[in-house]
Amino acid sequence: MAPAHFSTTQLGITLKGVFLLVFAISLLSCAAARQPQTQKLKVHKHLKRLNKTPVKTIQSPDGDMIDCVHISKQPAFDHPFLKDHKIQMRPNYHPEGLYDDNKVKSETNERESTLKQLWHVNGMCPEDTIPIRRTKEEDVLRASSVKRYGKKYKSTAAPRIMPKSADPDLVNESGHQHAIAYVEGDKYYGAKATMNVWEPKIQQPNEFSLSQIWILGGSFGEDLNSIEAGWQVSPDLYGDNNTRLFTYWTSDAYQATGCYNLLCSGFIQINNNIAMGASISPVSAYRNSQYDISILVWKDQKEGNWWMQFGNGYVLGYWPSFLFSYLADSASMIEWGGEVVNSEPDGQHTSTQMGSGRFPEEGFGKSSYFRNIQVVDKENNLKSPKDIGTFTEQSNCYDVQTGSNSDWGHYFYYGGPGRNPNCP
């Protein structure tokens, strides 16, 4: 066969095509190389913003680094509205009456013997500092984007509850599931509860299990205000399966505002003993010792700020009232209970546990509970809630049962194993 012959014009077109192909591949390679570098720069910039220069650093046995940051240098003060804010070092009023320093002091020894975070083993933060869990590069990289790190996802975070007028068929579109008790129909100025602490098993890293109090205001559309506090296991957020103290807030239904713990400006911490996002130890065990924590969130009606207390006397700090619209006045609904993410496709249910992973009917020592649940009224008194409702999307996966007695006041058991023969 005779060899092929190309005219100079044909050869030129062929070489031009090859050149363009090589050039295109080269551009794509450069773009691909630039992308991780740009992402890395964004992550490092974000870490620099979050991790303030510490006065002292304490390494926790679980691998966390706890930075003791001067109280005036905490992330809250990155907020433009807080540039000249004078820190309120204690609330004007406590829901049980005037704030009593002597009472808190007399309880200190008892508190310290029962309430621990793992990092306490290796030291404490000095006065005039607050403990902040250091954010690592891998923490941010686990998020869908730098911007979304430390935030709940709008499409999946909207409260499950229901004002009674809500359509129950719309409730479970989010992939989140709940077992809660709630009150509505009044103005609420805070809530309190004691809940036992567990270490539920999580099926997939992008799922979580939590138990918390919700302080809610507004409609359940895009103007929802929410303050949340409790304990959670969240591998995606923390990189492990430890049970951790956490808080969250939003003023626009988890769209642009708010975050977990101190991962954005907003919450002002005054306490040097408790680190938000740090591990709680010990935790309850099935048919064994039970360990619980108390959380109180209330509104200082003189200043308007929402305060949080952990345990019998650790007043942690406050959310300034300007962060909110509806909660600048009061809450319209309070919820207590558990929540999990069910990310399984095709209708199959996750085996992520809620609470202890046991159903409520198993009772004390086996099931998880909230006890002594209370609300704060306009006169700043802690009161037993009236007309408690309950809600769960699938009671064969996670359930809730309420009760009351003289020791535990109003209480409920809640939780479950997720996937089981009755919850496929």
Active site residues: 228, 339
The DSSP code sequence of 301-357 is TTT-PEEEEETTTEEEEEE-GGG-SGGGT-EEEEEEEEEEE---STTPPP---BTTS
| C-alpha span between 67 and 295 (Å, rounded) | 24
**For residue 377, which of 191, 137, 195, 253 has the smallest C-alpha distance?**
191
**For residue 204, which of 337, 349, 346, 359 has the smallest C-alpha distance?**
349
| C-alpha span between 203 and 262 (Å, rounded) | 27
Residues 6+ apart with CB under 8 A from 9: none
Long-range contacts of 52-59 (CB under 8 A, 24+ apart): 52/132, 54/129, 54/132, 55/125, 55/126, 55/129, 56/123, 56/125, 56/126, 56/129, 57/134, 58/119, 58/122, 58/123, 58/124, 58/125, 58/131, 59/119, 59/122
